[in-house]
Amino acid sequence: MNKLLRHWLPALAAGLLSLGSAHAAYPEKPVRILVGFPAGSTADLLARALAIKLADQTGQPFIIDNKPGAGSSIAAEAVARAPADGYTLLLSTTANVINPSLSNNLKFDFTKDLMPVMLLAENPVVLIAPGNAAASSVKEVVAAAKAAPGKMTFASSGNGTFTHLYGELFNELAGIKLTHVPYKGSTQAMTDVITGDVDMSFTPSTPVLGQIKAGKLKALALIGRRRMAALPNVPTFAEAGIAGFDSALWFGLSAPAGTPRPVVDKLAADLQRVLALPDVKAQLEGQGIDVAAAAGPAPFGALITRELAQWAKVVKTAGVKVE
């Protein structure tokens, strides 16, 4: 046995060294990042900003492939079925931890078929109202809603979307009853909030910064752990007296389950360097996107686990059904 070990150990060591060297050279060809939302969306803007810098860092193209539909599940399934080699990745979002609670028809398991690489950024979600709305604070909204349960309305970009579930979570945490008005997308929803046909809406901050600054919309509070540099006078929900409402819309990078750990670690290290670049931070913060604190797979995995449970509870409590 000892002779056998002495014979095979050098070959095994050489093989492991070769494998490690191959991973260290990653990437050696173009990398695709699938985005489950259209071009021009917040997820797309973030992915493209990072792809340019990752290409500079690694010498290989990072190609953005938009596959919108089913709340990002189409893109997520494509990545789940891709080879676990680090060359097909997912720009994952909050939507990916909401979808499992809304559908029994998913053909993949987000936590089993994909693995976390790194949390990238957060986009605070803003509670907006018409620019001429009577309410100017969360406290005033809650008082008005309690005075007339069900009369006040909130718009969303569709039944079961995160903009819908943020409204249901607000109902639960504040002990109020706002009536949900679903739209087929965010454009008409925002138009009807501006005109006052709907009382309010929860929306990612990026698309509405211009309307807020122009006075067409009023930002009452934001969901996030701290105030936004772009909206320094808008309080967080915690500051406005609503505890437990700090789950901003997040974006991360996920890979097919089984992707070699050296590849995942290399990706995380490259991303940390890119996100620390002053021009990248300035570009993203100008669009209302907050760069996440540097962290690798474990903290991102913990966030995913925590939010899967949170949104499952919201869906069950509110009785949300998706046809």
- Residue 284 burial class via C-beta count within 10 angstroms: exposed 0-12, middle 13-18, buried 19 and up: buried
**CATH topology for the 29-122+248-318 domain:** D-Maltodextrin-Binding Protein; domain 2 (3.40.190)
| pLDDT for the residue 24 | 66
Mean pLDDT by 10 residues, the chain (323 residues): 52 49 79 94 94 96 95 96 98 95 91 97 94 96 97 94 93 96 91 97 91 96 88 94 89 98 96 95 87 86 94 92 76
Would you state the pLDDT for residue 104? 79
Tokens 């609503």: give the residue. 242
Specify whether the CB–CB gap between 193 and 155 falls below 8 A.
yes
DSSP 277-302: -HHHHHHHHHTT-EEPPS--HHHHHH
What residues contact 87, with CB distance under 8 A and at least 6 apart? 27, 29, 30, 31, 32
User: Nearest Cα to 284, choosing from 211, 217, 190, 209?
Assistant: 209
DSSP character at residue 2: H
Per-residue pLDDT, 8: 55
Give, as one character, the DSSP assignment of residue 236: B
Q: Do domains 29-122+248-318 and 125-223 have the same CATH topology?
A: yes
Give the pLDDT of residue 186. 85
Give pLDDT, residue 19: 47
User: Rounded to an integer, what distance in angstroms lies between the CA atom of residue 45 and that of residue 39?
Assistant: 8
User: Which residues, 6+ apart, have CB-to-CB distance to 229 below 8 Å?
Assistant: 285
125-223: CATH superfamily: Periplasmic binding protein-like II (3.40.190.10)
How many CB atoms lie under 10 A from the CB of residue 245? 23
| pLDDT score for 225 | 83
Measure the CA–CA gap between 42 and 65, rounded to whole angstroms.
14
Domain extents in the chain = 29-122+248-318, 125-223
- Phi, psi (degrees; rounded to nearest 5) at 38: -70, 165
Confidence at residue 2, expressed as pLDDT on a 0 to 100 scale: 53
Tell me what pLDDT residue 322 has: 80
**Count, residues in the chain:** 323
